[in-house]
Amino acid sequence: MDSLIVILVYLISLVIASPTSLVPSATPSPCSNLHALSNNGDRKIAIVIDTSGSMLDSDPDNLRLAAGKRIVDWLISDNEATSSKKADEVTVINFDDSPHLDYPLGDPGNADSAFDGMGADGGTFIAGGVEMAITQLTQQGSGDTVKRSGIFVFTDGEVFTALAEHYLY
C-alpha cells in the first residue's frame, strides 16, 4: 500500500441518522452538471455501494445503484479506447456486515451487471468496503495509482454493526 499516495474518497449521498430518503427530484440537482477536466481515460475507479438494511428507507428508489451505473457508463471501456483515449478500469464492491467483491478491477464495459443483484439487508461495515476498494486499486500488476485512482462511496453513513464498535473505541 506504500505505492498509494493519493486516493480520493467521495462520500456521495451522505445522510447521517436522518429520516429523509433519497428520492428523484423534479428540479435539477446541483450535482447534475458534474464533469471531469478531461475524459481521456487511464483511470482506476472503485465504486463502493452500501447494501445495508438502512438503505431500504434511505434510498428506496435505488438511486445509489443508478449513480454507480452512470459512473461505469461514463468510464472508457476497452472497446471505446483509441490512440487518444486510454481504457479505464473499474471495480464494484457492495457492503453490509462485510464487503463483497461484485466486479474485480477490469474493463468497465462489462461491469453494468454487477449492480443487478444488490439489495438492502444487514449491518453497515463501510470501512470493509473501502478497504476492499483500496486492495483492488493497489493490487500488484494493476499499474500506478497516483493521480489516476478514486473511490466513490454511496452510503447513508448509518453504521449499525458490532464491528463498528470495535473500530470506534
Q: Is the dihedral of CA 151, 122, 64, 156 positive or negative?
A: negative
Q: What is the pLDDT of residue 56?
A: 93
pLDDT at 4 over 90: no
Q: Does residue 11 surpass a pLDDT of 80? A: no
pLDDT at 37: 60
Question: Which has more pLDDT, 7 or 160?
Answer: 160
Count of other CB atoms within 10 angstroms of residue 136 = 24
**3-state secondary structure (DSSP) of residue 104:** strand
Q: What is the pLDDT of residue 91?
A: 98
Residue 102 has pLDDT above 80, yes or no: yes
Q: Give the pLDDT confidence of 108-140 residue by residue, as tens digits.
A: 999 999 999 899 999 999 999 999 999 999 998
Measured distance CA(152)–CA(9) in Å, rounded: 6
Q: What is the pLDDT of residue 39?
A: 72
pTM: 0.76
The closest of 47, 25, 164, 159 to 106, measured between CA atoms, is: 47
**What residue segments make up the domains of the chain, in order of their start?**
8-12+40-168
What is the pLDDT averaged over residues 59-74?
94
Mean pLDDT of 9-29: 41
Which pLDDT score is estimated for 20? 47
Run of H or E including 67:
helix 63-74
* pLDDT at site 86: 93
Give the phi and the psi of residue 91 in degrees, each rounded to 5. -130, 145
Pick the CATH number of 8-12+40-168 from 3.40.50.10800, 3.40.50.410, 3.30.70.260, 2.60.40.10: 3.40.50.410
- Check residue 158 and give its pLDDT: 64
